[in-house]
Structures are given as structure tokens and as C-alpha cells.
Amino acid sequence: YALSGVASEKEEGSSVSGDNFSLFSMENGHYHVCVSDGMGSGPSAFRESDMVVELMQKFMEAGFPQETAIRMMNSAMVLQGDRESYSTLDFMDLDLYSGQMTITKIGAAASFLKHKDRVECLRASTLPAGVDASCTGDVIHRKLTHGDFLVMVTDGVLEYLHVKKPEDTMQEIIESIQTNNPGILAKKIMERVMLFTGGKAKDDMTVLAACIWEK
């Protein structure tokens, strides 16, 4: 079974976060996490990322294969018009029977996989959703085992660490936190990040942690 926890901060002075996320389970034993970061901040960014998350969940629940769902979502974003407004997609599919995990990234920040003895950085390089209708993202496959954690973040979390290698710093932060609770892990990561920013959110920031346990 899988458990998740989220910590988020909206950009200082903004009425609403431009980040959105969704967590949902399917009858076939698959657990999904979807995170999207709308370009910019405020209501317009919220609407963009909300559409990405909502479309992905609806397409998956309707029974479409993941690649088809992503292609349809991306096409819908492109067809919105010529306004320069894009969103990232970070989509995790976890088979709870086998532990096989697939992450699809479209313009999304790096994610981090915490094993018992190390933290692995999962990077991607595609453009955000809504730029290229044919893009189905960078796909990463991993096998998860009992006690593994996946940490997904939006780019505001890494960007405002203000260090040369933010992914390396985030790996060190995650390694230093000892907990089996995904909610506490997400909260403590955000607390550490806010120390780097002087306690101010200069962008929308979301940290989502998910862990897998054997029954």
C-alpha cells in the first residue's frame, strides 16, 4: 500500500498557489500521483495546472492508457489558444502488486527516490505541457521496495535554494531526515528549504512525498 503527504507554500503576496496535485488509486491496484506547476503565479497559473491535473485524473479513470492520457491532455493544453501559458506535468504510476513505478515528466523539476541507504535524483528535460502536442514526456522506470520514498517537488523548491547544485543539496536534505511518515518528511523538507529562502516564499512551492509498504 502507498501513503502520501504534502507541504506547500504559495508565493508571497499571491492569493492562490499556481501548483496543483492529485492523489488517486485505481481498481486495478495502481496508485497515481500527479503534480503540476503553472507558469508564473496567481489565479492564471492555478487554472493552468488545475486543468492538467484534472484532465490526467479523468482520462486515467476513464480507462485510457497512460501515454494516450498524456497525449490527450497535452493536445487539450495546446488547443487552448496561442497565449503563452504552460504547465509542467509530473505523473507517477505505481503498481502496488509488483512495486514497479513509472514517472513521466513534462517540463517538471527533478524528483528524488529515497532508499534505505541512499537518495537517487530522477531528472528530465522535456518542455512544459501545452508547447508541443506530440510530446509524451520523459519516462523513468524504477522498482520500489518496502520503505522506499518518492519525493516530488515543483521548481520553486529547488530554484530558491540558491546553491550551485540544488539537486545535490536536496539529496542531502532528504538523506538527513529520519522518519517513516510521508507527511512529516514533506513538512520537514519544506522547513529546511524555507531556511535557505529566509522564511519567504519567492515562488509557489510544493513538496509531495509518497512511500510504499508491504502489507
56-68 pLDDT, tens per residue? 999 999 999 988 9
Say which residues have a Cβ less than 8 Å from residue 58's Cβ, sequence separation at least 6: none
Q: Give me the chain's average pLDDT, please.
A: 89
Q: Is the dihedral of CA 199, 85, 43, 111 positive or negative?
A: negative
Residues of the chain with pLDDT under 50: 129-130
- Sequence-distant (6+) residues with CB within 8 A of 62 are none
pLDDT by residue (tens digit) across 150-191?
Answer: 999 999 999 888 889 999 999 999 999 999 999 999 999 999
DSSP string, 41-52: SHHHHHHHHHHH
